Amino acid sequence: MLPRPLPVPLTVVLWAGVTLLLDRHASLWEQRGLGLLTWALLLVLLRREPRTTRVQVGVVVAYASLVEYVFAGWLGVYVYRLHNVPSFVPPGHGLVYLAALAVGRSAWAHRQRWLVPAAMTACGAWAVWGLVLSPRLDVLGAFWFGCLVLFSRTGSSQRVYAGAFLVVSYLEILGTSLGTWTWQHHDPTGLVAIGNPPSGIAGGYAWFDFAALALTPRLLAWWDSQRQPAQDRLVQQAVAAHDAPTVRPGLALE
């Protein structure tokens, strides 16, 4: 029997595959329908998560959406099939991050001591292949692999990064194979060669995780500080109402 958190990444992987297959010949409005369904799935999965996880996923969705609209919508580092940012992509980032979190916190991942070294070795081998053997040079993938190694050594989310590598690599290989998106050969400066897909792209989720871990405590503290004065006012009003003298209608009329 699977540990409880593992059905989340399996659900995400299955839904991502179905979405990418359906998107192959989808119109813009059909694509928007896939986006609504993806949002619905994300919200359903988040219902059982603690508040901290929900805020972390929200930070990642906002951050990743900004990255999408800058690097795909504006700079054209990668291009989607309909030359837009598909509506299922922002919630899709939330699902991918939630899947990586679920892998990282699962009892299964904690028992598999080989998981993190195997993921890093596989990603490193892919990065070397992109630099040395691939017919298409991949410098950006090697850079992102370096980011993944750096965060893995200095942070406390090694299993999350391993989960991100598994899920993101699957999505990138499937998405580029189906033509859902295509990476350009170089960045806008023409200096950095890019694979299709870049090998160490999971390193991007290490940055997403960094943003989520940095911003979530601040957002929760701000939210609690905004709620506290309102709760204090409600308490004061309740106390005042309880302490107020009761005046009988007959006496008031007299």
Q: How many other CB atoms are found less than 10 A from the CB of residue 252?
A: 7
Q: How far apart are CA 31 and CA 89, in angstroms?
A: 10
Query: For residue 104, is it within any domain?
Result: yes
Q: How far apart are CA 126 and CA 173, in angstroms?
A: 12
pTM of the model: 0.87
Specify the pLDDT at position 46.
96
Query: For residue 100, is it within any domain?
Result: yes
Query: For residue 240, is it within any domain?
Result: no
Length of the chain: 254
Amino acid identity of residue 31, one-letter, is Q
Q: What share of the chain in percent tops pLDDT 90? A: 78
CB of 96 closer than 8 Å to CB of 171: yes
Specify the pLDDT at position 236.
56
Q: How far apart are CA 144 and CA 201, in angstroms?
A: 6
Specify the pLDDT at position 174.
97
pLDDT tens, 85-108?
A: 999 999 999 999 999 999 998 888
Domain count, the chain: 1
Q: Which residues of the chain have pLDDT under 70?
A: 1-5, 229-254
Query: For residue 129, is it within any domain?
Result: yes
Specify the pLDDT at position 241.
55
Query: For residue 226, is it within any domain?
Result: no
Helix locations, the chain, DSSP H: 7-23, 28-46, 51-68, 89-105, 107-111, 115-132, 139-154, 158-178, 203-243, 249-253
Q: How far apart are CA 53 and CA 59, in angstroms?
A: 10
Query: For residue 17, is it within any domain?
Result: yes
Q: Which of 114, 67, 92 is nearest to 11 (CA)?
A: 92
> Could you list the residue range(s) of the whole structural domain that residue 155 is in?
7-219
Specify the pLDDT at position 250.
45
Specify the pLDDT at position 242.
54
pLDDT tens, 34-56?
A: 999 999 999 999 999 999 999 99
Specify the pLDDT at position 243.
56
User: Given its phi and psi angles, is residue 184 left (phi above 0), alpha (psi -120 to 50 degrees) or beta?
Assistant: beta
Specify the pLDDT at position 254.
37
Q: How far apart are CA 64 and CA 171, in angstroms?
A: 15
Q: How far apart are CA 25 and CA 31, in angstroms?
A: 9
CB of 91 closer than 8 Å to CB of 64: no
Query: For residue 245, is it within any domain?
Result: no
Q: How far apart are CA 190 and CA 184, in angstroms?
A: 10
User: Given its phi and psi angles, is residue 26 left (phi above 0), alpha (psi -120 to 50 degrees) or beta?
Assistant: beta
Query: For residue 167, is it within any domain?
Result: yes
